[in-house]
Structure 1
Amino acid sequence: MKFSTWEKVGGSVLIAAWLIYGVNFIGDSLVQADEAPPSAKKAMSAKTAKAPAKTAQAPSGSGDALALLASVNPDAGVKVFKKCKSCHTAGKGGKNKVGPNLWGAVGRKKASHGGFKYSSTFKGLDGNWGYKDLDTFLSNPKAYAKGNKMTFAGLKKASDRAAVILYLRGQSDSPLPLP
């Protein structure tokens, strides 16, 4: 049976579309997004209801995400955190991976999660993970802690950093108050 060139092209495009759809479907079914705990959603929605919605996005750079914390959608952090899931877990009692479990990280002393072997760079950091520190770190981990082993380049968009910070804030038994 002979097929014309157009039939071959059309069939190839159709097969390619099916393959793309199938791989996307399989990938989505293998990677499940963690929902923010109900207590975090309630606290975030109450805070958002009190604060006026900000429509302008701050330019990227350290500190810009803090201005967006009150207006960012809490569920956006679940989506952005998928970039972190290959190395971190965030659920209560979650296992350490290449990076430490991040349950209760917001407000916690730096390099203090039990059972994780931190690099000397992280061990040398003082203080707790506050909102400003997290914003600066997430924008460029290598610049924040020179010599650390983390390979992640960072989140350039302030809205993405704000979403992840808000998500991590909710991953705690007692979330730190928003600034």
Structure 2
Amino acid sequence: MDSFTLNKAAGAVLMVLILTMGVGIVSDIIFQPTIPGKPGYEIVVASAEDATSEVTPEPDIVPISERLLAASASDGEGVARKCAACHAFEKGGANKVGPGLWNVLGNQPGTHDGFGYSSAMVAYGEENGEWTYEGLDNFLAAPRNYIDGTSMSFAGLRKPEERADLIAYMREQSDSPLPLPEVEAAAPVEEAPAPADEAPAATE
């Protein structure tokens, strides 16, 4: 191979190297990466104040004494079907997984004949004396929250109107239904005092 051919080969290799370096420099200029000042992703956590401002407060539950005025015992009979697997509502009904519920309102919790209650239910009955409308309403809403240690596994009835219907039905399952609770009268609204610079009204 003569010197001219070697020079051409060397020139070709040099040209390839120069082109490769040029392409690399140009690509770095065109596609220059943006390096953040702080690496990683910033996770924004809402403050307690922001979280609280977005929470809608639960409305106050109407007292059971007022809900019973609009309650339907016939609708409550339908609600009672949810409990029929564990309880009998009719007079003389046998104990099942739970005690019979005939004449339960006004009677002491934990005392139905022939049923083995939890110690928590017996203690509740000894402390409170009898099932009241309010006590039964609270218990049906969340049994295990209201009486810690009860053996009743039912999760509860979350709808206040549904509980009122059931209690209205349970009230009728008695030879002498417990009188309905009195509805508390609303507190009178006090009138704002007249401004000090306002002249009193003339009297005849």
Range class of TM-score, shorter chain: 0.5 to 0.7
Q: Is the 8 A contact 1:66 1:135 kept in 2?
A: no
Identity among equivalent pairs (%): 46
- Give the counterpart of 2:153 among 151, 154, 163: 151
Secondary structure of the corresponding residue to residue 132 of structure 1: helix
Aligned with residue 128 of structure 1, among 93, 108, 130: 130
**1 or 2, which has the higher helix percentage?**
1
For 1:6-155, list aligned pairs within 5 A: 64-125=63-124, 126=127, 127-155=129-157
Question: Is 1:138–1:161's contact at 8 Å kept on the other side of the alignment?
Answer: yes
The answer to whether the 8 Å contact 2:65/2:180 transfers is: no
Choose between structure 1 and 2 for higher RCO, CA contacts under 8 A separated by at least 6 residues. 1
Structure 1 counterpart of 2:72, one-letter code: N
Structure 1 residues 60 and 97: CA distance shift in structure 2, 3 A? farther
Distance across 2 between alignment mates of 1:109 and 1:152: 20
Tell me if structure 1 keeps the 8 A contact 2:104–2:131.
yes
Highest Rg: 1 or 2? Answer: 2
Over aligned residue pairs, what C-alpha RMSD do you find? 1.7
Question: Are 1:64 and 1:158, in contact at CA under 8 Å, matched by a contact in 2?
Answer: no
Residue 66 (structure 1) shift: 3.1
Letter of the aligned partner of 1:176 in structure 2?
Answer: L
Distance 1:139 1:81 in 2: 14
Q: 1:122-152 CA deviation, whole Å, 9 max, x = no partner?
A: 1111210010000100000001110111110
> What displacement does 1:95 show?
0.2
CA contact (8 A) 1:88 1:99 kept: yes
Equivalent of 2:169, from 164, 167, 170? Answer: 167
Contiguous gaps of at least 5 residues in structure 2: 1-58, 182-204
CA deviation vs aligned residue, 1:64-91 (integer Å, no higher than 9, x gap): 4332101112201000011111110010
Q: Tell me by how many angstroms 1:104 deviates.
A: 0.5
Tell me the number of residue pairs that the alignment of Structure 1 and Structure 2 aligns: 121
Structure 1, unaligned runs of 5 or more: 1-58
- Check the 8 A contact 2:72/2:169 in 1, yes or no: no
The TM-score, its normalising length taken from structure 2, stands at 0.57
TM-score normalised by length of structure 1: 0.64
